[in-house]
Amino acid sequence: MTKVIGLTGGIGSGKTTIANYFATMGVPVYIADDAAKKVMQSQNIIQQIKTTFGDSIFENEILNRAKLAEIVFNNADKLAQLNAIVHPAVKSDFESWLLENKKHDYVIYEAAILFESGRYKECDVIITVTAPEEVRIERVVKRDNTKREQVLSRMKMQWNDEKRISLSNFVINNSNLKIAKEEVVKILKILNIKQNQS
């Protein structure tokens, strides 16, 4: 049976870069954030978002993701409301994707809020990607062309590294990409040994 490796880390930790490296090593990767963007284009989800958050976050019937992000990342209750709409749809999408990839020993499920959403309970192995806070802030400011304060408010909505690490099987420090890639190779070797022993 295919084992699900949960891959997570705080905003700016570089977890997608690590997920993509796993993909180059032949492990199928599911990026939950990309899936969420996809399901948020379905009429059913759009209607639910409109009902919950109103018409002001839509422009010509197109969801303004920046406006929605501004609302939810400054209000934990609003974020929970959005997650309640999007998460079930992502879960269903992942289950279909998993069936398509069932011939593989492992797949990666990459999600920023793996723990916060409770999805970690459905993973066989959990990897947390870390990086120093200042490095993470710098990466996100550059990547999203955003302000430091906005990055910090998003960080506050997520678990901290200590909490994530306490529930993880492996930790990859992604301050240096070369070293982080070496960690990926080591983890895959360990997982393959365990797989062969079981």
Q: Which two tokens stand for residue 62?
A: 């197109």
pLDDT in tens, 44-57: 999 999 999 999 99
Q: In the predicted model, what is the mean pLDDT of the chain?
A: 93
Please name every residue paired with 106 in a beta bridge, in sequence order, or none if there are none.
Answer: 3
- pLDDT score of 193 more than 90: no
Q: Which two tokens stand for residue 140?
A: 């996100």
Pick the CATH number of 3-197 from 3.40.50.300, 2.70.98.10, 3.30.420.40, 3.30.2130.10: 3.40.50.300
pLDDT of residue 197: 65
pLDDT of residue 198: 59
pLDDT in tens, 52-104: 999 999 998 889 988 998 899 888 899 999 999 999 999 999 999 999 999 99
pLDDT of residue 178: 96
Residues forming the annotated binding site for ATP?
Answer: 12-17
pLDDT in tens, 4-23: 999 999 999 999 999 999 99
Distances (CA, A) of 128 to 6, 16, 39, 144, 162: 8, 12, 25, 22, 10
Amino acid in the structure at residue 75 = N
Q: How confident is the model at residue 1 (pLDDT cuts 50, 70, 90)?
A: confident
pLDDT in tens, 145-161: 999 998 998 898 899 99
- pLDDT score of 29 more than 90: yes
Residues forming the annotated binding site?
Answer: 12-17
- pLDDT score of 194 more than 80: no
Annotated domain spans of the chain: 3-197
Q: Reduce the DSSP state of residue 63 to 3 states and report it.
A: strand
What pTM does this model have?
Answer: 0.91
